[in-house]
Structure 1
Amino acid sequence: MKWTVPNILTALRLLAAPMVPVMFLYFTRPYADWFALMLFVLASVTDWFDGYLARAWKQQTKLGTMLDPIADKAMVIIALLVICGYSTWTPWLVLPATIILFREVFVSGLREFLGDTAGTLKVTWLAKWKTTVQMVAIAVLFSQGVFEHYLVMSSWGMDQAMAEAMLSGDMEDSQGLRWKYAGMVWAGNLGVVLLWFAALLTLVTGWDYLRKSTPYLREDT
């Protein structure tokens, strides 16, 4: 195995994946949300850099080719589990997450079954865009948690009538509740829309991989 700089970046991204839920074990919110968001964004950025450096420096290796999709899947799957676990389990969030998880498991099993012929399922540009949209959606959903908990902290000790008066503009918003609430709503809605778009791309790329593997799944006659 050859440990080039791109491969090291990919390995660090793979190690960062399980660190996302660890943030919620050792830190209180919203600090856990902040740390998980920063860790996820930083790891996602390396996804672009390791591929760019591998091509620019002509350091594309078998190790990097193997680790890169694993690191991407680990980041997405673990982050989605954390987001769903700390959400209200709304179907609008859980259903696209389920589609994404099912596709990743299905394609991984398909590649394992095909063995030496798995090279027919090379990562396409559409699949790369799928991963990018997934990561952007997850980052936005993590930011929703930041807005939500700053909103709760700012309204601590207020009764419902006072908080509603500040949000409606009937009372001076000395705690910045309106912009925090707006950030929470916009981040939540945008994150769900992006996650559904990612789920759609997930289905399209999954079907493409199944179509390409069909000749190898036919029974011998």
Structure 2
Amino acid sequence: MNWNIPNILTLLRLLAAPGVAVMFLYFTRPWADWLALVLFVAAALTDWVDGYLARAWKQESRFGAMLDPIADKAMVVIALLVITGFSGMNPWILLPSTVILFREVFVSGLREFLGDTAGLLKVTKLAKWKTTAQMIAIAVLFAQGVFEHYLGMQSWGMDQQMFESIMSGLEEDVLGLKWKYWGAYITWWAGVGLLWVAALLTFMTGFDYLRKALPYLREDKTS
């Protein structure tokens, strides 16, 4: 194993994956939302940085090539579990998350079965776009949790009529509920939309890998 900077960054990204879930165990909201968002975004950025440094410094290694996709999958899978749980199993989140999780497990199983021939399932450009879409969607959904929690805290105990009066401009918006409401609304639909785009790209890449692997999955009829 080569303990160069690109590989260390990849390892830190892998360790950050469970850290996202741990934030919600040891911190109350909205601090947990903030810390999970910052940790996830910082870890996601290392996905680009470690690859760039490895190529620029000619430090690409087998260890890094093995660890990089594992770190990416761990980040996405754990973050989706957290978001799905806090969304109350909302179908708009649950369905695309199921597609993404199923594909990751399926492709990992394919690679394990193919063994030495797993090299034919190389990461494609579409797969890289898929990972990018997943990470942006998850970051936006974590941001939505921040807006939603502040909105809930500051409107707690407020009757519906008062809330509607503030939103319509009849009452002064001292607490800034309007921009928190619209922040939560926009990030929700943007995050959900990006998650469905990511699920579509995920499905397409999974189908492409299956197509490439099919010749190696057929039974030998001559035996």
TM-score, length-scaled by structure 2 = 0.97
- Where do 1:192-203 residues align within 5 Å? 192-203=192-203
Residue 169 (structure 2) aligns with? 169
State the shift of 1:209 in Å: 0.4
For these two proteins, the number of residue pairs brought into alignment is 221
State the shift of 1:169 in Å: 1.5
Residue 33 (structure 2) aligns with? 33
Residue 59 (structure 1) aligns with? 59
- For 1:108 and 1:199, the matched residues in 2 are separated by 17
- For 2:28 and 2:161, the matched residues in 1 are separated by 28
- For 1:184 and 1:9, the matched residues in 2 are separated by 32
Residue 79 (structure 1) aligns with? 79
- Where do 1:110-121 residues align within 5 Å? 110-121=110-121
Identity across matched positions, percent: 73
State the shift of 1:208 in Å: 0.6
- Where do 1:1-221 residues align within 5 Å? 1-220=1-220, 221=222
Moved more, 163-172 or 196-205: 163-172
- For 1:157 and 1:107, the matched residues in 2 are separated by 48
- For 1:55 and 1:43, the matched residues in 2 are separated by 19
- For 2:7 and 2:41, the matched residues in 1 are separated by 18
Alpha-carbon RMSD across the aligned residues, in angstroms, is 0.7
- For 1:153 and 1:203, the matched residues in 2 are separated by 38
Please list every run of 5 or more consecutive structure 2 residues that lacks an aligned counterpart in the other structure: none
- For 1:41 and 1:131, the matched residues in 2 are separated by 13
Per-residue Cα deviation, 1:112-154 (whole angstroms, up to 9, x for no partner): 0000000000101110010000000000000000000111122
Please list every run of 5 or more consecutive structure 1 residues that lacks an aligned counterpart in the other structure: none
The code of the aligned residue for 1:18 comes to P
